[in-house]
Amino acid sequence: MKTALVTGANKGIGREVALQLAKKGFHMFIGARNRHAGRKAAEEIAKQGGKATFLEIDINYNESVTGAAHEFAKIVDHLDVLVNNAGIMMDGDDAILKISDDLVRKTLETNTLGALRVTRAFVPLLAKSKAPRVINVSSGGGQLTGGADGWSPAYCISKTALNGVTSQLAAALPKFAVNSVCPGWVRTDMGGRNATRSIEEGADTIVWLAIDAPQELTGKFLRDREEIPW
């Protein structure tokens, strides 16, 4: 059975990706730091016929991440797909010159370093897959080509940096497919009710990269299953 880990899978896009992959026959690992929410999401997926296991993980801490990899390895011996979905948006539409160092630091800690930490910890398990895939959930706000327009600058900077992590990981892991995804403006807790896309639409390219995209597609930034500029 194929296996997949989605971080931040207790709600929003992460939960939808986990549900869709479970329906496709994956053994899903529901990564979340909130035990109650994570277990509830896993139970709900299981009720719909999927195989789901809660995995406690706080991507801000190396100890938690390495501990999660250890627990994962007790259950299965390989990982086929890693979706680095967990992320935060702490700033509003404040000008870049007004945001605090602390806010930028916290945002980078989660959105950029968090994805790198998780990937680093799970590479040995991914290496045991016949077709390992890493998918980093980024944002169009992180694009250097027309991406920055003043909204949530700390968040956007963290996603620019995450795209840099994607590019570096793709170079370091030539047998892996490592890509960034812009899901678009999605109606989640983060995106808000006025967002233009449904959660299903936001999850679509991530699920496609997990299952159907060519393995040789790597080191790219994608939206709607098409490559977009960094």
Q: In a structure prediction context, what are the per-residue pLDDT tens digits for the chain, which is 230 residues long?
A: 999 999 999 999 999 999 999 999 999 999 999 999 999 999 999 999 899 999 999 999 999 999 999 999 999 999 999 999 999 999 777 789 999 999 999 999 999 999 999 999 999 999 999 999 999 999 999 999 876 677 899 999 999 999 999 999 999 999 999 999 999 765 666 666 776 677 788 899 999 999 999 999 999 999 999 999 99
By annotation, the residues acting in catalysis are: 155, 159
The pTM score is: 0.95
CATH architecture of 3-227: 3-Layer(aba) Sandwich (3.40)
Query: CB–CB of 10/4 below 8 Å?
Result: no
Kindly list the domain boundaries of the chain, sorted by start residue.
Answer: 3-227
- Percent helix / strand / coil, the chain, rounded to 5: 45, 15, 40
**Three-state secondary structure readout of 208-230:** HHHHCCCCCCCCEEEECCEECCC
Residue 211 burial by CB count (10 A; 0-12/13-18/19+): exposed, middle or buried?
middle
Sort strands 81-84 and 177-181 into parallel, antiparallel or unpaired: unpaired
